[in-house]
Structure 1
Amino acid sequence: MATEQSLNTFISKLPESFPIDKDATMNAFKSMAAFNERFAGIAIDTASRTNEITANTTQESLSRLRELTKVHDDASEYGQAFVNFVQGQMNLTRDTAEAYGKVLGDVREQTAELLSQAGETAKETAEAEVKTAAKKTTSRAKSAAKAPEKAVEAAEETAEKAEEKAEGENA
């Protein structure tokens, strides 16, 4: 039956059974922070660029509306102003779509590069962790294999001391 002492010993040694490499943990944290910083930078740059495109498009549309609503001397000029407005808006829509497409293409490229680098970093870290764990496991297995030998040696020494003590008492 387990005693309170043996339970306390077990619990006190439990953290050693699951060692945490503080350096590896800190490196993982720093790596994630760097990834998040770059990912957030891509998102913020994208928002800024698309906001700029939208603002320019809005300004140009309002300028065209101003031209459309001006007073003209001849009635036929209103028709021409409307045609100019529609053509201008079509061109503006095309240019805006191209600008958004360029931004999205850049974002796709930057994100793919970031994810590729993160995957490579994760692979390298995992390989290093596996090698470290393998070395520790091998070392512990060797130590565990030697433990029975040490126990046998200790038992033999105890038996020898017991024999010597018994011989001393018989003499």
Structure 2
Amino acid sequence: MTNQPDVAAMFKDAMAAFPIDGSAAEGAFKSTAALNEKLSTVTLDAFGKSADVSSTWAHDTVKLMTEASKAKESPADYMQAMSDFAAGYSKLASAHMAAFTEIAKTAQADSMALMTDAGKGFTAEATAAVNTATKKAEAATK
């Protein structure tokens, strides 16, 4: 019979041949976690504001519908009520869509600012890591 290779030992040897700086990985994890937290805050804030706008829009629509559904004296009054409802709803839609647009623009601007700052931070960390590795390599070759 043949001997089975010790896979665990092979992996251990391979990992020893390519040492990994755990502090760099930990720093990258912490940076990523912090960025994700900030992006989640932007997202949840936008969601909360959107929910508020949706709720307000629904309440305002119900008010318009309540007025339109009241009994009228003549058929012309019903036509006027429907016309008033349509005009009122059009104004509501315009106002609330503008509010949604502002929420989206704010979320987009905040996200872009976070990503730009994160990119600058990651670039600085990568530059520092490369400089450290270069110094270690130069020292090893001497």
* TM-score of the aligned structures, taking structure 1 as reference length: 0.72
Using the TM superposition, give the Cα deviation of residue 104 of structure 1 relative to its aligned residue in structure 2, in angstroms.
Answer: 0.7
Amino acid at match of 2:129: E
Query: Counterpart in 1 of 2:141?
Result: 141
1:13-69 C-alpha deviation (Å, 9 max, x unpaired): 654432222222211111010011011111111111111111111111111111100
Query: Counterpart in 1 of 2:41?
Result: 41
Amino acid at match of 1:44: L
- Overall identity of the aligned pairs, in %: 26
Q: Distance in 2 between matches of 1:96 and 1:12?
A: 61
Query: Counterpart in 1 of 2:122?
Result: 122
Amino acid at match of 2:62: L
Q: Distance in 2 between matches of 1:107 and 1:132?
A: 37
| C-alpha distance 12-41 of structure 1, shift in aligned 2 (>3 A) | closer
Query: Counterpart in 2 of 1:29?
Result: 29
Q: Distance in 2 between matches of 1:79 and 1:110?
A: 46
Using the TM superposition, give the Cα deviation of residue 76 of structure 1 relative to its aligned residue in structure 2, in angstroms.
Answer: 2.5
**Structure 1: gaps (5+ residues):** 1-9, 143-171
* TM-score of the aligned structures, taking structure 2 as reference length: 0.86
Partner of 2:72: helix, strand, or coil? coil
Amino acid at match of 2:81: A
Using the TM superposition, give the Cα deviation of residue 114 of structure 1 relative to its aligned residue in structure 2, in angstroms.
Answer: 0.6
Q: Distance in 1 between matches of 2:91 and 2:73?
A: 27
Q: Distance in 1 between matches of 2:11 and 2:64?
A: 77
Q: Distance in 2 between matches of 1:63 and 1:12?
A: 71
1:113-169 C-alpha deviation (Å, 9 max, x unpaired): 011011001100110010011011111111xxxxxxxxxxxxxxxxxxxxxxxxxxx
Query: Counterpart in 2 of 1:158?
Result: none
Using the TM superposition, give the Cα deviation of residue 84 of structure 1 relative to its aligned residue in structure 2, in angstroms.
Answer: 1.0
| C-alpha distance 136-80 of structure 1, shift in aligned 2 (>3 A) | same
Q: Distance in 2 between matches of 1:11 and 1:62?
A: 67
**Structure 2: gaps (5+ residues):** 1-9
Q: Distance in 1 between matches of 2:101 and 2:33?
A: 29
Q: Say which structure, 1 or 2, has more relative contact order (CA 8 Å, 6+ apart).
A: 2
Matched, 1:109 2:73: no
- For residues 2-81 of structure 1, what are the structure 2 equivalents within 5 Å? 14-81=14-81
Partner of 1:63: helix, strand, or coil? helix
Partner of 1:71: helix, strand, or coil? coil
